[in-house]
Amino acid sequence: MIRKIDHMVITTTDINRCIVFYQKLGFKVKNTADRYELFAGDFKINVHIKGNEFIPHAENIQTGSADFCLEICSDIEQFKKFLESQGLSILEGIVLRNGTNGKMDSIYLYDPDGNLIEFCCYE
C-alpha cells in the first residue's frame, strides 16, 4: 500500500538560479556528480537539467509544469514575512484552501522555471 511521497522531480533550464531559489526557501542542497537534490522535512526534490535528464524520466518533459503543495511547520503570517524578507514575489495568499487534512491557509508563488508552489498551514 502507498504510504507517502518520497521525492519528486522538477526540470530546470538554469541550475544555479534554481538552486539559489530553493535555498532561500530553506532547502538543503546536495550535488553528487552533477546530480542535484533538494532536501526539506522528510522528502526531497530531484532537479534535472533540461536536455540532460536522468533516465528513466517523464515522457513529456517540460519546465514550469509542476504544481505542488508543501506543508510548513510555522505560522502562515510568519512564513509570508519570511518569503518577503527573501525577496520572493508572492502570487497569491494568504487564502483558505482544503487539503489532505482539511482546511488550511495557503500562499502561492512561482519558482524561476514557472512551477507553481503552494505553501500551506493547517488551522
Q: Is residue 67 within 8 Å of 115, Cβ to Cβ?
A: yes
Q: Among all residues, which ones are annotated catalytic?
A: 118
Amino acid letter, 64: G
Compute the distance between CA of residue 42 and CA of residue 20 in angstroms, rounded to an integer: 20
Q: What are phi and psi of 20, to 5 degrees?
A: -60, -45
Compute the distance between CA of residue 11 and CA of residue 48 in angstroms, rounded to an integer: 5
Q: What are phi and psi of 12, to 5 degrees?
A: -120, 155
Q: Which three three-digit cell numbers place residue 44?
A: 526531497
